[in-house]
Amino acid sequence: MFKARNYEFFRDKAAFGWNFLFPFLIIAGFGIIFGGREYSGFKVGIFPAATASVPLAHSSLPPKFVATRHLEFIGLPTFEEGLEKLKHHRVDFLVRLDSPSRQYWLLESSPKGYIVERLFQAALIPDGPGYGEKVAVPGGGIRYLDWLFPGILAMNMMFSALWGVGYIIVRYRKNGALKRLKATPLTAFEYLTAQALSRILLLIFSLAVVWLGVELIFSIRVAGSYLDLLIVFTFGAMSLTSLGLLLAARGTSEEFTSGLVNFITWPMMFLSEVWFSLEGAPQWVKSFSELLPLTHLLRAVRKVMNDGATLAEVGSECGVLFGVTLVCLVLGAALFSWND
């Protein structure tokens, strides 16, 4: 049995390939995103600075702070821009370079900001005039929870859409359930529409359930309108579900499809700013991120939830999501096969 299972694994070329290729790609991907550096968990915005990468050696920052590993320094031209990024958790800590009292800002709710503050203060102890001057963020910024929560919701939506549609259809194709349906007058378009509508409804329903649950424990702040938020999420659900249909258009190997779904969901999870912002990442990574529907969904949701944007203000994001939906649906329906 042991031998048989090993043969099974090595002979299923698709699954075999993915099993080795996939972790390699993830690691290679991270390597590229972080430009060969180590993963920098903490982003420190410094201003005024002409470019994003600033020579730090002769700056007014405490040398010990500069030398701390895992801190990434991102140069920003103005205070306003720095504050904007800080409020949206794109940087964790903000320092004014030309301030004798070493003014800095952070969000009280940000765990990373707190750590960086402690590092900053520690770095100042022996040679600085004080611990630095902490300045309150006007308006208080966005709570870390309110920033993270949309990401979790969107990510959940992505997994549910891609697995729930993509994987299930491939399984039905493999076991012949789709072939049975093909023998009826049901058209591919009707079948796919039914799958998509059902999944969208389900995504919105589970979104509501999760939301209510979280709302009971923490109170979530929504600056914009709930209706707008619902519409944005619906656009997101449509685009992700269509992507799932496209992935499931062909193929009868569940292993291959699960590899493919992983291959798409993982980069989306890391590059759509669910967990961390791409501030400081190479430009092409940021451009690539623009291709991912999750990026646009999350941006729109955060704008509505955190900044109180109206539907019109997130029109471009919704437009992109709608475009993704159309392209995936048309391609998915054109490529769809009931039996192979």
Is residue 310 involved in binding other proteins (CB under 8 A)?
no
Tokens of residue 142, six digits: 């966005």
Cβ proximity of 67 and 275 under 8 Å: no
Among 57, 138, 184, 287, binds other proteins (CB under 8 A): 184
Is residue 183 involved in binding other proteins (CB under 8 A)?
yes
Distances (CA, A) of 33 to 267, 287, 331: 11, 12, 30
Cβ proximity of 238 and 318 under 8 Å: no
Cβ proximity of 112 and 148 under 8 Å: no
Q: Minimum distance from CB of 329 to other proteins (Å)?
A: 22
Among 65, 147, 172, 233, binds other proteins (CB under 8 A): 172
Is residue 338 involved in binding other proteins (CB under 8 A)?
yes
How many residues lie near other proteins (CB under 8 A)?
A: 14
Q: Choose the stretch contacting other proteins; rule: CB under 8 A; options: 34-42, 92-100, 146-154, 174-182.
A: 174-182
Is residue 202 involved in binding other proteins (CB under 8 A)?
no
Cα 210 to Cα 216: distance, rounded to the nearest angstrom = 10
Q: Choose the stretch contacting other proteins; rule: CB under 8 A; options: 4-12, 52-60, 126-134, 179-187.
A: 179-187
Tokens of residue 183, six digits: 């023998």
Is residue 198 involved in binding other proteins (CB under 8 A)?
no
19 SS3 class: helix
Is residue 180 involved in binding other proteins (CB under 8 A)?
yes
Cβ proximity of 165 and 244 under 8 Å: yes
Identity of the residue numbered 2: F
Q: Minimum distance from CB of 251 to other proteins (Å)?
A: 17
Residues that bind other proteins (CB under 8 A): 172, 175-177, 179-186, 338-339
